[in-house]
Structure 1
Amino acid sequence: MLASLTSFVALALLAAAAPAVDNGYGRTPTLGYNTYNAFACAPDEAKSLDSIAALKKHGLIDAGYKTFQIDCGWQSNQRDPKTGAIAVASDRFPRGLGVVADAARGQGMDFGMYTDQGLLSCDTDTSRGAIGSLGHEAADAAFFASLNATTVKVDNCFVDGKDNSPKVPRTDFVTRFKAMGDALKAHGIKGMTICQWGVPYSSPSNGLQGPAQWTGDISTSYRLSDDIAKGWTSILQISNQAMHIAKRGMSGPGHFADADLLEVGNGGLTAAEEKTHFSLWAMLKSNLMVSTQMDKASPDSLALLANKELLAINQDSMGKPIQLIQRFTNDHDVYAGPLANGDVAVLIVEQGNLAGSMKIDFSLLEIVSADVHDLWTREKKTKVDSYTAEMDQHGCIALRLSNVERPSTFSDKIAWHPATSGKGGVRADCSGCSGKSKVGGIDDAAVYRLDNITAARAKSTLLFDYINAEVQFSFQGETNERGALIRVNGGEEQSVSFPLSGYNWDTDVWKNYRVDLTGFVVGGGNYIEIRGGSKLSQYAPDLDRIGIIV
């Protein structure tokens, strides 16, 4: 089937907004400080007051980090006999939490709280028996309101009092978190971040869903993934889970996807990786929550947190995250996203462990020319059609394009091939697929082959409509990708990475995923062979259809 390719970049960047809370809070992502990555579940009064003072000293409050949030560890193992609210751990906060809240406000910050929607709370020292809010939402919300908290992070541990952090689909997410959301709303607290680590919700009518799909009318923000961990693998795992959310328009004002706390300043990342991590989180429009021991973070780490150009993109009023435009597997990723004044945010991330010069041709973004501002080197160029800069391993190029000129017409054509027209793999029904069926089960033994492909050039761009709903979690070395090894006309295998497309193997199709492959003969009679068994996964993604730009 031959079809016109109406500017896929334009269509991607104009994705419809998802349901969102509209109460005046969270119209832009939250900028602030959270105690968890710095102190785990063991914050105390001195650590909190010192952190607030350090934020002021290093200019981060003036840079826009305006919320100070206590995370897990403030709770005791009992309730206040008068109010019924969780009692504050007096060994850590002997004067109560009001001292910390007042200190934050005294420096121009709001105050944020934490609780857990389980019988017990998440805790890095479970012997303490710190309690959660399940069944006591009204009393705890009233306590948070007495501290004039503007936002509350709500965690998901110990739902039954036994299992610390269950990573299995559940049917009670909506009712359980809505109970706390309603209580916060009743007490005038507008901000809420649901933190259930991107675990699937088992919907009685729609199958498995991610938090982006069910939190829209409950909270102003939601954790898109499992907890962040030290190291580059965690950055990959979270970013690969964020991509389908941005592509489907499920993050924006009143409902921002939270990629978790920043690891900047905590070690485990190189200087280049810290810049990439911060750039990704900023342009994905995640909450930006500093979470490091301020007296131990390097001056360079603290300085990059104050990059005013990236903070401005994060706080842009349009609230649209960058989207993956194309992944050049084992080399680099290219992202782009619109800004309120017509500018375009662009991010290139090095993925091949190779330092060197990197060039981005703006034609990939369907841009003829633009003025360029490099947000790290501060270099500026006027009316150019490409940009070149040096990148370190896992480094990035972060750009803001202005005075953008786009082509007046877009004339590429796609020849589509249903996956079921090929050979190999396993056929299955698929309600979200273009032809209501797909091909899966493609591994090292079950090779898939598609014949009769007509190519216009030796190196051609293919578009894959695929499903990868294999959600992976932190601390396991996984990166939320499925891999495929593809041969063109029997040539050398070319490795291709396919990020997570969603949560549901029946509905969550990633459409128009661009892949450049070499080895075609101009004209008809070409074929491709696809197998799993790559270093990324045993299986390739399930395939809906494959197109080639002709």
Structure 2
Amino acid sequence: MTTIADLNDKWAAYAGPGGWNDPDMLEVGNGGMTYQEYRAHFSIWALAKVLLILAPTSYIFSLAFICAEFVISRYQSAPLLIGCDVRNLTAETLEILSNAEVIAINQGHSLGVQGRKVQASDVDGCRQVHCSCASDVDLIGLDLIRLLRVWAGPLSGNRLAVAFWNRCSKVATITASWEALGLESGIRVSVRDLWQHKLVAEDAVSSFSAGVDIHDCQLYIFTPFTVSRSVE
């Protein structure tokens, strides 16, 4: 999942109406990942701005085929396919897949801009020293080994969707600078947490920090009090 996200990010600048990147279907609910990893998966896929389609596993490929012409001709976007069996969802899986605020990030196609990685950092113990995928390092760059990531993308109303993604094996604090987000340093911003469904900062200036659990992702909406941003 992380490799697909990294490769999808590499081509973010080329995505938009008429040709969207396809990060493949969601694995949320299929087993093999923790709740935090599933939440990170859904957050990053939503930020990548792809069309949301729900279907039971047994029908998923036929549904995708039936919908293909509609998807390609109307939305020009890769389908965000829920790959688990929706007839047998656990409470945790349903909680993730039905988060209306996260889905709203995904549905914001009007600007035609895919979210992308804007900052990567590391601290002691949060750096991928050994990588078995040398070709991916060549494709993606050295930021592959920096495991504390900030992704962002513009929304309507001059807002930003911002994800703090901790790919480290320990809890870490991630800080997003206004410079990385394309905001002027003096801009005041309110911050809403889309997983906690509440405002977590009313007047942030120059940067915003949050603790993020192991392999988890916090997803926010940043609303500047004064319009000034350049994340595109």
TM-score calculated relative to the size of structure 2: 0.67
2:188 aligns to what? 369
Q: Which amino acid aligns with 1:240?
A: D
Tell me by how many angstroms 1:357 deviates: 3.9
Q: Distance in 2 between matches of 1:346 and 1:404?
A: 16
Aligned match of 2:208 in 387, 407, 410? Answer: 387
1:348 aligns to what? 164
Q: Distance in 1 between matches of 2:100 and 2:196?
A: 13
Q: Distance in 2 between matches of 1:366 and 1:254?
A: 26
Tell me by how many angstroms 1:370 deviates: 1.0
Task: Confirm whether residue 319 of structure 1 aligns to residue 112 of structure 2.
Answer: yes
Contact 2:148 2:174 in 1 (8 A): no
- Per-residue CA deviations over 1:159-215 (Å, capped at 9, x if unaligned) read xxxxxxxxxxxxxxxxxxxxxxxxxxxxxxxxxxxxxxxxxxxxxxxxxxxxxxxxx
Contact 1:362 1:369 in 2 (8 A): no
1:148 aligns to what? none
2:27 aligns to what? 263
Query: Which ranges of structure 1 fall in alignment gaps of 5 or more residues?
Result: 1-234, 411-550
Tell me by how many angstroms 1:282 deviates: 0.5
Q: Which amino acid aligns with 2:22?
A: D
2:49 aligns to what? 285
- Per-residue CA deviations over 1:352-385 (Å, capped at 9, x if unaligned) read 2111443333343242321111111123122212
- Per-residue CA deviations over 1:384-436 (Å, capped at 9, x if unaligned) read 1233333111111111111354679x9xxxxxxxxxxxxxxxxxxxxxxxxxx
Task: Confirm whether residue 403 of structure 1 aligns to residue 167 of structure 2.
Answer: no
- Per-residue CA deviations over 1:132-175 (Å, capped at 9, x if unaligned) read xxxxxxxxxxxxxxxxxxxxxxxxxxxxxxxxxxxxxxxxxxxx
Counting only pairs closer than 5 Å after superposition, residues 435-450 of structure 1 correspond to structure 2 as none
2:96 aligns to what? 304
Contact 2:164 2:212 in 1 (8 A): no
Percent identity of paired positions between Structure 1 and Structure 2: 29
Q: Distance in 2 between matches of 1:342 and 1:276?
A: 24
Deviating beyond 6 angstroms after TM superposition, the runs of 4 or more aligned structure 1 residues are: none
Q: Which amino acid aligns with 2:97?
A: L
Q: Distance in 1 between matches of 2:190 and 2:212?
A: 20
SS in 2 for 1:240: helix
Contact 2:115 2:151 in 1 (8 A): yes
2:130 aligns to what? none
Task: Confirm whether residue 332 of structure 1 aligns to residue 148 of structure 2.
Answer: yes
CA spacing shift, 1:383–1:292, aligned 2, 3 Å: same
SS in 1 for 2:223: strand
Contact 2:190 2:202 in 1 (8 A): yes
Q: Distance in 1 between matches of 2:179 and 2:227?
A: 9
Going by fraction, where is strand more abundant, 1 or 2? 1
Going by fraction, where is helix more abundant, 1 or 2? 2
Query: Which ranges of structure 2 fall in alignment gaps of 5 or more residues?
Result: 51-78, 128-146
Q: Distance in 1 between matches of 2:208 and 2:177?
A: 7
Tell me by how many angstroms 1:257 deviates: 1.4
Tell me by how many angstroms 1:321 deviates: 1.0
Q: Distance in 1 between matches of 2:43 and 2:166?
A: 13
Structure with bigger gyration radius: 1
Q: Distance in 1 between matches of 2:92 and 2:228?
A: 40
SS in 2 for 1:370: strand
Q: Distance in 2 between matches of 1:294 and 1:304?
A: 12
Contact 2:154 2:161 in 1 (8 A): yes
1:360 aligns to what? 176
CA spacing shift, 1:404–1:245, aligned 2, 3 Å: farther
Counting only pairs closer than 5 Å after superposition, residues 101-116 of structure 1 correspond to structure 2 as none
Contact 2:43 2:219 in 1 (8 A): yes
Tell me by how many angstroms 1:243 deviates: 1.2
CA spacing shift, 1:406–1:344, aligned 2, 3 Å: same
Tell me by how many angstroms 1:299 deviates: 0.9
Q: Which amino acid aligns with 1:263?
A: E
Tell me by how many angstroms 1:306 deviates: 1.1
Q: Which amino acid aligns with 2:21?
A: A
CA spacing shift, 1:407–1:312, aligned 2, 3 Å: closer
Q: Distance in 2 between matches of 1:251 and 1:407?
A: 23
Q: Distance in 1 between matches of 2:228 and 2:49?
A: 28
Q: Distance in 1 between matches of 2:173 and 2:88?
A: 33
Tell me by how many angstroms 1:283 deviates: 0.4
- Per-residue CA deviations over 1:213-254 (Å, capped at 9, x if unaligned) read xxxxxxxxxxxxxxxxxxxxxx111011111211x2x11223
- Per-residue CA deviations over 1:233-291 (Å, capped at 9, x if unaligned) read xx111011111211x2x112232212111111111111000010000000011332112
Q: Distance in 2 between matches of 1:357 and 1:236?
A: 20
Q: Which amino acid aligns with 1:390?
A: G
CA spacing shift, 1:299–1:237, aligned 2, 3 Å: same
